[in-house]
């Protein structure tokens, strides 16, 4: 059996053993994520939740270690009276998509059957916290899970991630070019060139809008994004282009050799792919193909699912 996630075909078939993996012993304290009704009901009751997702149905032997650990933390004399503990195969995570579009089992090289489970805490107020970092999940222990649950109940977990729709992209001037480019040693630089004489045209406005949208997606990454107006600045010779808009990535370890994005249409997808492919180090939330990693995808979906507006939308549709 391969340790790599695989694509689920268009018929959305469940993985093997999907209905039989949870042993009666574990079911005493742990609940399966199940259908939307379960998480929706718990959300309405405003009970804290710990949700652990893994490739449960694929590797039952490898699963037992993690289940035993979560089962112990879920004991009534531990956190079982105050927190709902839910476990399931990643295939079930589609319940967090209000419109049930597709599950999230897919070819993600950052996650395998040997990886620790993806653990999320949901506070009584509906705030979602990830047991890990932007880079991926942390390996849990009884001690670290106790700390996580204690902080979840005390509402003292710090929000690690921001998901703003857009972010401001600062202008770079020739006067501060060297400081901004070479002063930051640990970050890649993405620099977009535009002409102020073309402001108001669809091409330039879309380009600047997509830069701002890309900056929002790079909030968890070591990538600094700037734009430069060629009508008020003399463009350094290393940037070779004839028309604007133009986009270049300067990898953190080789900033003297900017890499131009030659896609004819500089849409958000092409921009993201260019950064993902050429970044000095692989991104936290995206692989080299610009596919959002599983832990990041689920974090974003859960944040959307548990906010108040989503609850209102759920009531409307269901």
Buried b (16+ CB within 10 A) or exposed e, 258-296: bbebeeeebebebbbbbbbebbbeebbbbbeebbbbbbb
Tally of CB atoms within 10 A around 236: 13
Per-residue pLDDT of the chain (318 residues; tens, 9 = 90+): 344 444 444 445 667 777 888 999 999 999 998 765 666 676 777 889 999 998 777 788 888 999 999 999 999 999 999 999 999 988 777 777 766 555 555 556 667 778 899 999 999 988 999 999 999 999 999 999 999 999 999 999 998 888 777 889 999 999 999 999 998 889 999 999 999 999 999 999 999 999 999 999 999 999 999 999 999 999 999 999 999 999 999 999 999 999 999 876 889 999 999 999 999 999 999 999 998 888 998 898 888 888 765 555 555 444
Quote the pLDDT of residue 112: 77
Judging by beta carbons within 10 Å of its beta carbon (0-12, 13-18, 19+), is residue 55 exposed, middle or buried?
buried
Q: 174-278 is classed in which CATH architecture?
A: 3-Layer(aba) Sandwich (3.40)
State pTM to two decimals: 0.86
Angstrom distance (rounded) from CA 194 to CA 67? 54
Helix 308-317 to helix 36-45 angle, to the nearest 10 degrees?
Answer: 130
Tally of CB atoms within 10 A around 251: 16
Q: What are the structural domain ranges in the chain? A: 24-160+293-317, 174-278
Tally of CB atoms within 10 A around 80: 16
* Fold of the 24-160+293-317 domain: Glutaredoxin (3.40.30)
């Amino acid at each position: 059996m391969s340790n790599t996630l695989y694509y689920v075909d268009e018929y959305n078939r469940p993985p093997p053993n999907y209905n039989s993996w949870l042993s009666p012993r574990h079911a005493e304290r742990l609940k399966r994520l199940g259908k939307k009704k379960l998480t929706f009901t718990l959300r309405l009751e405003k009970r804290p939740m710990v949700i652990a997702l893994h490739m449960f149905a694929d590797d039952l032997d490898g699963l037992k270690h993690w289940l035993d650990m979560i089962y112990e933390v879920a004991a009534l004399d531990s956190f079982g009276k105050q927190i709902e503990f839910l476990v399931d195969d990643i295939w079930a995570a589609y319940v967090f998509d209000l419109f049930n579009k597709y599950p999230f089992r897919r070819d993600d090289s950052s996650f395998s059957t040997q990886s620790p489970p993806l653990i999320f805490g949901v506070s009584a107020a509906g705030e979602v916290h990830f047991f890990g970092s932007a880079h991926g999940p942390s390996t849990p222990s009884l001690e670290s899970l106790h700390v996580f649950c204690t902080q979840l109940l005390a509402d003292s977990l710090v929000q690690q991630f921001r998901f703003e729709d857009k972010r401001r992209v600062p202008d770079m001037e020739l006067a501060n070019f060297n400081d901004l480019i070479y002063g930051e040693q640990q970050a890649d630089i993405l620099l977009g060139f535009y002409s102020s004489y073309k402001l108001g045209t669809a091409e330039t406005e879309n380009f600047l809008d997509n830069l701002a949208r890309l900056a929002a997606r790079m909030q968890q990454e070591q990538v600094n994004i700037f734009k430069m107006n060629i009508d008020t600045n003399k463009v350094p010779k290393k940037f070779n282009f004839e028309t604007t808009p133009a986009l270049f990535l300067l990898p953190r370890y080789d900033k003297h050799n900017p890499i131009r994005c030659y896609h004819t249409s500089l849409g958000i997808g092409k921009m993201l792919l260019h950064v993902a492919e050429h970044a000095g180090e692989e991104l936290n939330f995206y692989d080299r193909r610009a596919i959002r990693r599983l832990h990041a995808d689920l974090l974003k979906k859960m944040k959307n699912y548990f906010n108040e507006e989503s609850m209102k939308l759920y009531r409307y549709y269901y």
